[in-house]
Each structure stands twice: as C-alpha cells, then as structure tokens.
Amino acid sequence: MTEIYNEICDAFPKQLAENFWMLGNYYFNLYLIKGENSTAIVEMGVSGIVDSVIEQLESMDVKPDYLVVAHPHSDHITGLSGLRERFPDARVVAGEDAWEFVTHPKAIEGMVSEDRFITRMLESKGHRPGRPPLSKPPDFGDFLLVRDGDKIDLGGLTLDVMALKGHSPGNIGVRVPEIDTLIVSDSLGFHYPQRGFLPLFFTGFNDYMASMDRLLGLHPKILCLAHQGPLIGSDAENAFRIAEKTSHDLLRRIIENREDKNAMIETIFHEYYIDEFRMYSEKNIKSSCGLLVRRGIETL
C-alpha cells in the first residue's frame, strides 16, 4: 500500500480533499462532507468509536445536518444512537429496507451481541470506548428514505445516492461528483490492506457483481471503504480488479465444492478469520461464511 495510506491510518480526522474528511479509526471509517449550506456524515460505525468521532467533529466545530446510513449491518449502524444523542437536529438518511432490517428480531439480537464483542476488541487494541455497548437497536427517528438516483444538495457539493444490491438490504453508495469521490461501504468486500478483499455477496452474487461493475465505471479518484480505507488514485482503480477477481475465484471454489458445504464453510472461515477480521466474533464470521456458500450455490 502507498505511503498516503499509511499516513491516513495514523491521523483522524484526516482531510482527503477540499471539504472532505475521514473520521473514526483504522478499523471503522466514517466520511464527513462539508458543503456551503449543510454537512453530512456517511457511515455510522460502532458504539465503541462514537465518542472519538464526536471529539473529532467538535475539534472541527462541525455539527452534521445528515447522518447517512450506508447499510444496516451492526458494524455500520450501532454508532448511530450516540451520534443522534449528541446531534439531535441531524436527520438520518437511509436506503430502502434498512429500517425493516434493523428492527427484525433476529437482527436485533445479533446487533447487540456483536457490538458488545467489538467494544471488547477495541479496548484490547487501545481504543477505549467512552460509553457502554449498545443495549437496543438505534432509532432512525423521522428519517429521510432515499432511492437510487436521489440527490442531496449540501451547497457546492452533492450526495448522489446509488442503490447497490448484493451485499445487504438497504445498501447504498454515495458519489460526490465535485471531488470525484465514491463512498462504497462494503460493496467491494472486506478490505485487508495490501492483501485484497473477502467478497461479501450476502444477498446475491450476480447483484453484487453488477453493483461493482457500476461503481467501476465511475473511475473515482478517491474510493472510500468502510474498513481500513480509503484508496486513492491507482490504488482505487486496482481495487476493483482485485475485488472482482477474488469474488469470481470464491464463487468457483464454492461451486466446485458444493457437495460438502460444511467443509467449504470451515475452509473460508479459517482462511479469512485473521488480522483485522478478528475484530468480529467467530459466531458472526462463521455465519457470514455460511451465507456466502449458500449464495454461491444459489448462483447456479
């Protein structure tokens, strides 16, 4: 990875372009877009970093007007409660089906337990949370529902919303055309710096690849990932090729071994449950690997 990336990892908030910053920490990345009239944060992170994010915003004297939910998985949504508490006038923005996902009984149980696990992992790595982990799912309030093609004008900067299928219900990407930037969350997979991606086609392989092709066609200068990002310049361009190849490679392996699904799940789990991915619980990642195998077989 480039020296630019290493520098980014060491400093938060980090300015990436005019009126555009990365917040959070190495593991969980949020993005601040400051227009002439309004300010937005894309990605909500987890409860364990929310107080650090608030401190970062206060150091910049920024109060966000919009809190944009990229998708409703636990590591992208549990920071919302703390941000709404600190900035009650900010309006939540979310894609179709995001609220329904967050309030599903199965999702609630997993969200709370995973946030607790991530909180402990952050503490073990020297990131002391300023509050207890989440005890209930975040409330979206009177949120703004956005669909593919919707735009939010911040004044001089625009949030172009894209519905990106294949990874999660309610998954959206955000393009800021004025600064040639794409915020894609997990739509290319989970990012391992210098090593590539774990594909995350949880809701469908073909939809996942179609979304990736759409993003690639925009040729962003800055590619903003939700974890261990962003990627800039040639690294951004290369990321699409790497993510596409690893997705097809994993699909092929799943199809070739579809008669022994449990063994394939264990193989994927042991290959990828390393380094940054150990921020999550084994139960969560094994379940995710099982979902990948199921979606791979369904692609046939």
Q: Using CA atoms, how far apart are residues 120 and 240, in angstroms rounded to an integer? A: 33
- CB-CB neighbours of 129 under 10 Å: 19
CA atoms of 70 and 189, how far apart (whole Å) = 14
pLDDT in tens, 11-28: 899 999 999 999 999 999
| pLDDT tens, position by position, 170-206 | 999 999 999 999 999 999 999 999 899 999 999 999 9
For position 194, what pLDDT does the model report? 87
Alpha-carbon span 147 to 130, nearest angstrom: 34
pLDDT band of residue 213 (cuts 50, 70, 90) is very high
Q: Taking residues 67-77, report their average pLDDT.
A: 98
**Band of pLDDT at residue 300, cut at 50, 70 and 90:** confident
Which structure tokens are listed for 59? 């150091």
pTM of the predicted protein model:
0.95
Q: Residue range 208-219: average pLDDT? A: 97
Contacts of residue 165, defined as CB under 8 A and 6 or more positions apart, other chains included, come to 171, 203, 204, 207, 208, 210, 211
Contact 227, 277 (CB under 8 A): no
Within 10 Å of residue 236's Cβ, how many Cβ atoms?
Answer: 22
At residue 7, does pLDDT exceed 80? Answer: no
pLDDT band at 6 (very low <50, low <70, confident <90, very high): very low
Count: domains in the chain? 1
Confidence of residue 10 (pLDDT cuts 50, 70, 90): low
What is the per-residue pLDDT for 8?
44
At 79, which CATH number?
3.60.15.10
Task: State the residue range of the domain holding 26.
Answer: 3-298
What local confidence, expressed as pLDDT, does residue 5 receive? 42
- Find all residues with CB under 8 Å of 221, minimum gap 6, and list them: 179, 180, 181, 232, 233, 236
